[in-house]
Amino acid sequence: MENRDFIVVDVRTKEEYMGGHVAGSVNIPLQEIVDRASELEQMKKTIIFCCASGGRSGQAAAYFKQQGLECENGGSWLDVNYKLNQ
């Protein structure tokens, strides 16, 4: 993941993340995302948000797009994982 132009940020809870996640992804739960915005800004890569179904990741992507961050809603972490491994 570190050689790619993007990073996957999983916005599910820590418990959900520990149950399975995209290899190399970073877990920042949606409830903490605004407080941890500086971490996202320092990544200097396009951010692909994911969660269980796309709802929470859509909220995160919409918020950070308004803040000028290059990001997108990847939807379900299972879909993101599948696309990265094709």
Structural domains of the chain sorted by starting position, each given as residue range(s) with its CATH number in brackets: 6-84 (3.40.250.10)
Q: Which residues contact 41 (CB under 8 A, 6 or more apart)?
A: 69
Q: What confidence score (pLDDT) does residue 2 get?
A: 45
Q: What confidence score (pLDDT) does residue 3 get?
A: 56
Question: How does pLDDT run across 51-76, given as a tens digit for each residue?
Answer: 999 999 999 999 999 999 999 999 99
Q: How many Cβ atoms are within 10 Å of 81's Cβ, its own excluded?
A: 17
Question: How does pLDDT run across 18-56, given as a tens digit for each residue?
Answer: 999 999 999 999 999 999 999 999 988 999 999 999 999
Structure tokens at 4: 């790619």
Please state the pTM of the whole predicted model: 0.92
pLDDT higher at 52 or 82: 52
3-state SS, residue 50:
strand
Structure tokens at 20: 């399975």
